[in-house]
Amino acid sequence: MSASALWLLLLAQASPVAHTARVSPAAAAVGEPIEVVCDVTHPASVLPKPLEPELDPSAPWVFLDAHREPVDGAQGAASRLTWRFAGFEPGSAAPPAVEYAWRDAAGEQRATVAVDPVELAGVLAAEEDAPRPLLSFRELPATEVERSSALPALALAALALLVFAAGFALERRRLRRRAPPPAVDAPAERLAALRASTAAPRARHYELTHLVREAFDRRAGADRRGLSDEEWARALAGEAGVATAARAAAEDVLSGARGPKYAGEQPTEFAVRATFERAEAALRALEEGP
């Protein structure tokens, strides 16, 4: 074997050897978060990172966030990369293809992850069998309908469709900008709303850790969204301006949420309540300062 061929072989062995991907859940309602989860097996010398996708503005998908978590691998090391999207058109559709990158002796490398389609259902209440009327439009009384019978029904339907399309486009653009929440939406208020939510425990723990991390990062003026929970906790430990009680409570929240987020555990209501109480303590200690 030539020296150049041997060098290429060594480079190939330093790259992630394989990845598997799945979509969770396989079926959801329009607007609900969809996760693209990719398990990457790789040598310990490389660190794959999820890349933010560039979506077509006409695509019915909105990118929410992405993160990496280390996992135990059978050989070498393994990482779990997760991208979150929301779809806004019912039907069967595949989330956008995503990429992850790593750096080895040959420089930066990239891999593309293709995923299976998911089923997105329209949101209707149990007693409804048709979409609800558009906001700001009310049904006219029978006498008013008779008076307006001269206006073709087709023109009314076209007008309603245009209004709906314009509202949908504006909402999608707003979500794509990922504007920060308004100042009145304080972390404590968001925490109270999340605590009262009836969402599944896994989804609630994802949002809970996101809320706590965002509050601490905002106070520090740092953007650490690309870090795993473990990496984030290590970065927090190096900040002198964060009170010990706040740091300890935040680490407890991440620790308590790890099982429901990544191991599929179903915590008891007592455990969920304890995790939320630690989150309240973390936010309270953060506000009080060192």
Q: Domain boundary at 106, 121, 136, which?
A: 121
- Residues 191, 104, single domain; the answer is no
Q: Decide if 149 is inside a domain.
A: no
Q: Is residue 182 included in any domain, yes or no?
A: no
Per-residue pLDDT of the chain (290 residues; tens, 9 = 90+): 554 444 444 444 445 557 899 998 888 888 889 999 999 988 888 889 999 988 887 788 888 899 999 887 555 688 999 999 988 888 888 888 899 998 888 888 889 998 888 888 875 544 555 444 434 444 445 544 444 444 455 555 555 555 555 566 556 655 555 444 444 358 888 888 888 887 777 888 888 888 889 888 888 888 888 788 888 888 888 777 778 888 888 888 888 888 887 777 888 878 888 888 888 888 888 888 76
Domain-embedded: residue 128: no
48-73 pLDDT tens trace: 999 998 888 778 888 889 999 988 75
* 287 CB-near residues (< 8 Å, 6+ apart): none
Looking at the fold, whether 19 and 117 belong to one and the same domain comes out as: yes
The pLDDT value given to residue 252: 87
Is the residue at 85 inside a domain? yes
Number of CB atoms found within 10 A of residue 155's CB: 9
CA atoms of 96 and 114, how far apart (whole Å): 8
Answer whether residue 70 is part of any domain: yes
165 is a domain residue: no
- CATH number assigned to the domain comprising residue 19: 2.60.40
Q: What is the residue range of 96's domain?
A: 15-121
Listed in order, strand segments (DSSP E) in 156-229 are none
Q: Is residue 179 part of a domain?
A: no
Tokens at 56, concatenated: 């077509």
Question: What separation in angstroms does the CA of 219 have from each of 99, 153, 191, 235, 241?
Answer: 31, 55, 17, 14, 10
Whether 281 and 201 share a structural domain: yes
Q: Which of 121, 149, 176 marks a domain boundary?
A: 121
Closest C-alpha to 278, from 212, 221, 234: 212
3-state class of 77 per DSSP? strand
Given 63, 86, 121, the domain boundary residue is: 121
Same domain, 191 and 114: no
pTM of the complete model = 0.42
Residue 71 lies in a domain: yes
**Statement to judge: residues 195 and 112 lie in one domain:** no
Domain count, the chain: 2
